[in-house]
Amino acid sequence: MLRFLRRRAIFFIFTYILTSLMVFFMLRILPGDPARVIAGGREASEQQVQEIREEFGLDRPLPVQYLTWVTDFVRGDWGESVSFPGNSNRDLILQRTGNSMRLALVALALSIPISLLLGIIAGLTENKLPDSIISILTLSVVSLPEFVTGLFLINIVALRWQNNPIAEYFGWWFPSSSAVPANATFQEALPALWLPAIAATLVLLAYISRLTRAGVIEELKRDYVRTATLKGIPYRTVIFRHVLRNALLPTITVIAISISWLISGLVVIEFVFGYPGLGRLLIRAIELRDLPLTQAIIMVTVSIILVANLSADMIYAILNPRIKLE
């Protein structure tokens, strides 16, 4: 286990270095001069731009800029926000990350049980009616991009139902704006959460349920299932005690990995719903060519994805006796 963690730690460090390099240099290659943007755009005089350059160290050689940025980032000094004056980048990002996490959690809490259930039913009834229905449903959902389902939900549910007596009765569930006050409790945030959460759920639903179905079908063909059945134990015991444990092993990894997938989905969903999460902040930061903020957001995202993948590996290894973390 220690050995595994050590190897993983080294792997982490290299991934971080590589992604930070890519993020840093790719953003420099983009057209437009960040110093001019900060200085106020076209109207700013050459001198103002020059001052900004010096202030932010943008006139120094790129490697030096990179190193300063990395050391500051590691120390936790992510700079004062240029685009949102009065806030530090770190506070901004952490608050927005919290919002996104809430959304992601609700999405996962909805999608995992539903998709596992659908996947298992489909797997156990391979090529029969329930399987066909589930497969058609999940496939049609997966073929709709999240911005389409998002817009659909907004139009049908949020806008149409707003003046509907039923909606009025459940008024709390249909807030007129998706704005979430900073430091809102979970309960306060929930009304704004559930519609985008459904859109995010649909992103994962099809994916996880297809994989669960494949896992169940594959395990059912294995010899040990025959052994278990011929023990004469009840069918449900064969399924629950023998098949599911093995069938869900790969699914668990997939769920952890799909968290990274969810994050990219969230960027779009947050934008469509105007939900104040990390994804929307990223889009805004790029629009404003706010380099320090963009870089910091991407590095945070990378961390989340790496941690999700690591926990996937570890959970898998703990549940699978054939793998020893050596």
Partner 1 sequence: MQDKEKNLLLEVDALNISYKIKGDWIRAVSDFCMELKPGQIYGLVGESGSGKSTIAQALMRYLSANGRIDHGSILNFMGDDLTYANPAQMRSLWTQKIKFVPQNAGAALNPSMKIGKQMTEIVKHALNINGKEAQKLVIEMFNKVQLVDPEKVYERYPHELSGGMQQRVVIAMALITDPELLIMDEPTTGLDVTTEAVILDLVRNLIAERDTGVVYITHNLGVVAQLCERVLVLYAGEVMEDAAVNQLFSQAFHPYTIGLLNSIPRPGITKRDSLLQSIQGSPPSLRERKDACVFVDRCPFVIDKCHDIKPGLEKIADNRLVRCHRWEEIEAGELSFKTEEALTINHELNEQSETIMRVDEIAKHFPVQRSIQNALSGKEPPPIRAVDGINLSIRQGHTLGLVGESGSGKTTLSRVIIGLQERTSGKIELLGMDIRNTVRERSPDVLAKIQMVFQNPQNSLNPYLSVRQTIRRPLMKLRGLSRQEADREVLELLQAVNLRREYAARYPGELSGGEKQRVVIARAFASDPDLIICDEPVSALDVSVQSAVLNLLARLQDENGTSYLFISHDLAVVGYLADYLAVMYLGQLFEVGSAKELFNPPYHPYTEALVSAIPVASPEVRENRILLEGTVPSAQNVPSGCRFHTRCPRKIGAICEDEAPPWLGDGEGHFIRCHIPLDELRELQNPLTTETDSA
Q: How many residues bind partner 1 (CB under 8 A)?
A: 24
321 binds partner 1 (CB under 8 A): yes
Comparison of 200 and 239: residue with beta carbon closer to partner 1:
239
129 binds partner 1 (CB under 8 A): no
Q: What is the largest CA-CA distance in the chain?
A: 86
14 binds partner 1 (CB under 8 A): no
Angle between helices 278-287 and 244-273 in degrees, nearest 10? 40
Comparison of 29 and 129: residue with beta carbon closer to partner 1:
129
CB of 248 to partner 1, least distance (A): 10
- 237-296 binders of partner 1 (CB under 8 A): 241-242, 245-246, 249
* Gap between the Cα atoms of 149 and 133, Å rounded: 20
Q: Which residue is listed with tokens 């064969």? A: 238
200 contacts: CB under 8 Å, gap ≥ 6: 103, 104, 107, 111, 146, 262, 265, 266, 269
Which of the ranges 101-109, 149-157, 304-312, 313-321 carries the binding residues for partner 1, by CB under 8 A? 313-321
2 binds partner 1 (CB under 8 A): yes
Token representation of residue 130:
């329930």
Residue 288 near residue 37, CB atoms below 8 Å: yes
Comparison of 52 and 243: residue with beta carbon closer to partner 1:
243
CB of 137 to partner 1, least distance (A): 24
- 208-247 binders of partner 1 (CB under 8 A): 222-224, 226-234, 241-242, 245-246
Residue 65 near residue 59, CB atoms below 8 Å: no
Three-state DSSP class for 31? coil
Q: Please report the DSSP string for 230-278 in residue order.
A: HTT--HHHIIIIIIHHHHHHHHHHHHHHHHHHHHHHHHHHHHHHT--SH
- CA dihedral 89→91→94→99, nearest 10 degrees, is -110
Token representation of residue 116:
């596992």
Comparison of 101 and 319: residue with beta carbon closer to partner 1:
319
319 binds partner 1 (CB under 8 A): yes
Token representation of residue 303:
């961390």
Token representation of residue 293:
């903020």
Comparison of 42 and 236: residue with beta carbon closer to partner 1:
236
- x-or-dash pattern for partner 1, window 146-175, by CB under 8 A? ------------------------------
Token representation of residue 68:
């300063």
Comparison of 43 and 326: residue with beta carbon closer to partner 1:
326
Comparison of 107 and 248: residue with beta carbon closer to partner 1:
248
29 binds partner 1 (CB under 8 A): no
CB of 131 to partner 1, least distance (A): 14
* Binding stretches for partner 1 (CB under 8 A): 2-3, 222-224, 226-234, 241-242, 245-246, 249, 319-322, 326
